[in-house]
A and B are shown apart, each in its own frame.
Chain A
Amino acid sequence: MKLSWTWVVYLKQRPALMLVTTVVGLALGALLLIGPLRWTYDHTLVPVGQVLAGAGVTTGDFFANLGRIQSLAAQNQQLEVQNRELKTRLAADAETQRDNITLRRQLGLDQVSGFTEVGAEVVSYEPDSYRQFITVNKGSKDGLQTGMAVTSDGVLVGLLSDVKADSAKIVLVTDPEFRLVARDQDTGALGVLQGKLGSGLDMGKVDQTDQVAPGDTVVSSGLGGLVPAGILVGEVQSVNQHVNAVFKSAQVSTDFSASRLRFVFVVKPQ
């Protein structure tokens, strides 16, 4: 089978016709081909993409570990201490949660609705160095919807932005397109989180009278959208406050690496 190039030669002699054909072709292609292309890609190439993505993450980890092999022992010791502290806190939290349920029942308040999690594997990463998107192998067939929260190790990593039948695109919290109403867990201050170009997040639109301090924990507020309240986002690093400004803002750091993500959980509200 050989390709016929005669139509290209014909068009080459008529630049205006070639331009119109290209523009019309691209527009039609965008409208008609994206769906079938997406379907074909999801059903044929995704398994290969998964293997390659796994190989990429392993390679990245190998080189990253080479650089920090010296500090691993000290880091391990520090993590063990942190783990013990967290176990203690977890036990106390379980008690508080039980008390909360009992009191809500006694007062006749609605029970806090729970959520289920759907595990998904990352099949491709953003192909450029500027944006922060990933694609996973679960889609609307698994009950996913645009706007749902995505977590990894209990930390919010992004929101579903484009859901197809068998795949979904996730905008990560560090992408400038990411927006979410969040709450300072220690003071209750509300603000709008936005991803920053480069790294980290900016928590803006915080009322001047609200208290936000470095070290505070930032969680999802549960206001609007499909993201439940209380999902850990990160920690406040610094606060920008100007006397004449209407709002103040805070820099929030998050503890995950986009290129190390292999499996994520999509949070489905019940």
Chain B
Amino acid sequence: MIIWRLVFISVVLALTQLGFLAAWRPLGLVPNLLLAAMVGLSLRGAVRPVLFTAVICGLALDLNSGAYFGLWTLTLPAAALAATLLQRTGVVGNDLASGALVVLAATLVAGAAAILGMTYVVRVWPVGLLSAKLLGEVLINELLFVSMWSLVKWPVVPKDTLPGVNRR
């Protein structure tokens, strides 16, 4: 029943992001629950189920976003893949500090991608404001990641439960 669990998790995460967090906007910023969740899940469990979840969540965000289609469908799986690759190559571990480091990098990359996607409509770039927003997002995502770190145990699919997985 792994697939149903993944679909359920994807729906809950996407709706929370689109409905609750995007409406709440603490300090005028949208916390990126999905980015934090994808990094946490991929550090703690098998990456393929996380990729599946990331694609579903990314599609849901893209359907409701004004940014170019594909921004989130590509960014979320990329964050999950990057976290796994960094862990496999030994650059980061699977602890909270490593996760926080990956969330920092993923937030900066996702923010940069969102900003670059606006080049065709923006004439004047308020660099100070954008930098402040980016820093604020990093802080808020880190807080979210730290507070949900212990919660991501439940949806994790253990690495050795999937066929064809290199058990290391």
A132 interfacial by beta-carbon distance below 8 Å: yes
**Dominant SS among interface residues on chain B:** helix
Q: Which residues of chain A come closer than 8 Å to B137, judged between CB atoms?
A: 129
B129 interfacial by beta-carbon distance below 8 Å: yes
Separation of A45 and B26 alpha carbons in the complex (Å): 24
Separation of A50 and B11 alpha carbons in the complex (Å): 14
The count of residues in chain A whose C-beta lies closer than 8 Å to any C-beta of chain B is 54
Q: Which residues of chain B come closer than 8 Å to A54, judged between CB atoms?
A: 23
Separation of A41 and B29 alpha carbons in the complex (Å): 25
B80 interfacial by beta-carbon distance below 8 Å: no
A-B interface pairs (CB < 8 A), number: 159
A198 interfacial by beta-carbon distance below 8 Å: yes
B-facing mask of A98-130, CB < 8 A → 1, else 0? Answer: 000000000000000000000000111111111
Are A8 and B48 in contact (CB-based, < 8 A)?
yes
Are A55 and B126 in contact (CB-based, < 8 A)?
no
Are B19 and A30 in contact (CB-based, < 8 A)?
no
Separation of A161 and B165 alpha carbons in the complex (Å): 45
Are A125 and B114 in contact (CB-based, < 8 A)?
no
Q: Which residues in chain B, 135-157, are within 8 Å of chain A measured between CB atoms?
A: 136-137
Q: Which residues in chain B, 1-41, are within 8 Å of chain A measured between CB atoms?
A: 1-4, 11, 15-26, 28-30, 32
Q: Which residues in chain B, 39-67, are within 8 Å of chain A measured between CB atoms?
A: 48, 52, 59-61, 63-67
Are A135 and B24 in contact (CB-based, < 8 A)?
no
B70 interfacial by beta-carbon distance below 8 Å: yes
B73 interfacial by beta-carbon distance below 8 Å: yes
Are B2 and A3 in contact (CB-based, < 8 A)?
yes
Q: Which residues of chain A come closer than 8 Å to B32, judged between CB atoms?
A: 127-128
Task: Indicate whether A34 sits within 8 Å of B30 (C-beta atoms), given known contacts A49-B19, A129-B137.
Answer: no
Are A198 and B63 in contact (CB-based, < 8 A)?
no
Are A127 and B72 in contact (CB-based, < 8 A)?
yes
A205 interfacial by beta-carbon distance below 8 Å: no
Are B122 and A6 in contact (CB-based, < 8 A)?
no
Are B20 and A52 in contact (CB-based, < 8 A)?
yes
Q: Which residues in chain A, 155-204, are within 8 Å of chain B measured between CB atoms?
A: 161, 169, 171, 175-177, 194, 196-198, 202
For the complex formed, measure the closest distance between the CB of B103 and the CB atoms of chain A, giving whole angstroms: 15
Q: Which residues of chain B come closer than 8 Å to A202, judged between CB atoms?
A: 124
B-facing mask of A46-77, CB < 8 A → 1, else 0? Answer: 00111111111101100100000000000000
For the complex formed, measure the closest distance between the CB of A173 and the CB atoms of chain B, giving whole angstroms: 13
Of chain B, the residue at the smallest CB distance from A260 is B23
Q: Which residues of chain B come closer than 8 Å to A259, judged between CB atoms?
A: 22-25, 28
Of chain B, the residue at the smallest CB distance from A171 is B66
Are B129 and A197 in contact (CB-based, < 8 A)?
yes
B91 interfacial by beta-carbon distance below 8 Å: no
Are B65 and A127 in contact (CB-based, < 8 A)?
yes
Which chain A residues have a beta carbon within 8 Å of chain B's beta carbons? 1-6, 8-9, 26, 30, 33-34, 37-38, 41, 45, 48-57, 59-60, 63, 122-133, 135, 161, 169, 171, 175-177, 194, 196-198, 202, 259
Please list 25 pairs of residues, one from A and one from B, whose beta carbons are closer than 8 Å in the complex, sorted by A's number: A3-B3, A5-B162, A9-B163, A26-B70, A48-B19, A49-B15, A49-B18, A56-B24, A57-B23, A124-B18, A124-B64, A126-B30, A127-B21, A127-B30, A128-B32, A128-B110, A129-B137, A130-B111, A130-B133, A131-B118, A133-B65, A169-B66, A177-B121, A197-B118, A197-B124
